[in-house]
Amino acid sequence: MLELYIANKNYSSWSLRPWVLMKVLGIPFVEKMNFFAGEKTPSQFSLFSPTGQVPVLVDGHQSIWDSLAIVEFLAERHDRVWPRDPVARAWGRSAAAEMHAGFRALRNDCSMNIGVRIALHQKSGPLLSDLERLDQLWQDGLSRFQGPWLAGENFTAVDAFYAPVAFRLQTYGLELSPTSQAHANRLLALPALQEWQAQALLEVQRDEPHEAEMRLVGTILEDKRRS
């Protein structure tokens, strides 16, 4: 049985990607969650991860230690990971790679913190550019492949890569065009994302560096997490 090592549900955006993909596609796996709140040192994740980072997928004696590599490993074994249509597949792979390597301001200024609602003190130029590009990308995919998912009628890896963005939009109250906003709502309504969110809200451990960062960038309007 595949084992997926993740950090936690509230903050770990990279962990969410393979997790939601495997859940939606019904690929069986055992979840191995390691919070290491506060006291985590790189060597603790290094017990199962060569980079000291998660997610890591373990298949027997083989480890796959990056979210994009995990998706490609799964794609070699399951035919619904990427769209069947080659044009949609190439678009999906490009868009997933763009998220993997880009959107730095969105990822840095608006780190994932699912249970909290925050009003940002300000939106930096790079953040506004990332939001503009995100909106353009989502609208492009949805109109080109006619939805309801980014690369067509099925939820595929590209949707999994953008799933954490839906939580970031929700946390920071960031607005996109009506088409993209509807897409974020579609993601948030997915049973798998609802399950992830419900578990995130139950977590009592806090990652102090994340919490401090959040207090720095904005005003906390609401904290829905269990205390």
* Residue 14 beta carbon to ligand GSH: minimum distance, rounded to whole angstroms: 4
Closest CB to ligand GSH among residues 49, 156? 49
Provide the minimum distance between the beta carbon of 13 and ligand GSH in the complex, in angstroms, as a whole number: 6
CB-based contact 21:193 (threshold 8 Å): no
Binding residues (CB under 6 A) for ligand GSH: these are 7, 12-15, 42, 45, 52-55, 66-68
Give strand pairing partners of 126.
none
Vertex 51 angle, CA 210 and 77, to 5°: 105
124 in Cβ contact with 105 (< 8 Å): yes
Segment (H or E) for 193: helix 191-202
Tokens 């590209």 locate to 158
Of 42 and 173, the one with the shorter C-beta distance to ligand GSH is 42
Q: Which residues pair with 33 in a beta bridge?
A: 6
In this structure, are strands 56-59 and 29-33 parallel, antiparallel, or unpaired? unpaired
Helix boundaries (H) for 86-124: 86-101, 104-109
CB of 153 to ligand GSH, least distance (A): 27
Q: How far is the CB of 6 from ligand GSH (least distance, A)?
A: 8
12 vs 171, beta carbon nearer ligand GSH: 12
Closest residue to ligand GSH in the complex (CB): 53
**Residue 65 CB contacts under 8 Å (≥ 6 apart), including other chains:** 49, 50, 51, 53, 56
Nearer of residues 209 and 222 to ligand GSH, judged by Cβ: 209
Residue among 62 and 122 whose Cβ is closer to ligand GSH: 62
Cβ-based nearer residue to ligand GSH, 8 or 156: 8
d(CA 82, CA 25) in angstroms, rounded, equals 11
Smallest distance, ligand GSH to C-beta of residue 66, A: 4
CA distance 20 to 72: 15
* Minimum gap (Å) between residue 4 Cβ and ligand GSH: 11
